Amino acid sequence: MSKEKDADARGEEEAEIPLPDGQTTLLCVIQQLLGFDRARVFCSDGKVRLCRIPGKFKKRMWMRVGDVVLVAPWDFQPDRGDILYRYTSTELQRLERRGLLKELHELLG
């Protein structure tokens, strides 16, 4: 039996994922990887931002075009931001069940 099945058998809760709050963090989709740890993302508020990929994600978590990420826009320059988290496919399913991806689907077409 794998660890995942053991956890389900014991009834453990799923790990908490970071959620957007609408003001300080937003859901975004990566449109283009620009190099030098930068990416152009399309956010749920309808803006395109230039975002920085922090060093802790460089080798550990690879980013691709089309990935859904959590972004914190900068206070002093709102057209830029930092990528805080990249959602996996199972986490995207959980976000879809909560209805948080509807905004992105409407904006993307």
The strand pair at 80-86 and 48-52 is best described as parallel
| Domain encompassing residue 79 | 16-103
Establish if 49 belongs to a structural domain. yes
- pLDDT digit string (tens) for 20-78? 987 899 999 999 999 899 999 999 999 999 999 988 887 788 899 999 999 999 999 99
Instruction: Identify whether 73 is part of a domain.
Output: yes
Do 25 and 70 touch, CB atoms closer than 8 A?
A: yes
Q: Is residue 57 part of a domain?
A: yes
Please tell me the least confidently modeled range out of 9-18, 62-71, 88-97.
9-18
Domain count of the fold of the chain: 1
Are 30 and 66 contacting, i.e. CB atoms less than 8 angstroms apart?
yes
Residue 97 belongs to some domain of the structure: yes
Query: What CATH number has the domain bearing residue 64?
Result: 2.40.50.140
Task: Find, among 26, 101, 55, the residue nearest to 63 by Cα.
Answer: 55
Cα separation, 65 vs 37, in Å, equals 14
pTM for the model = 0.82
Residue 10 pLDDT greater than 80, yes or no: no
Residue 58 lies in a domain: yes
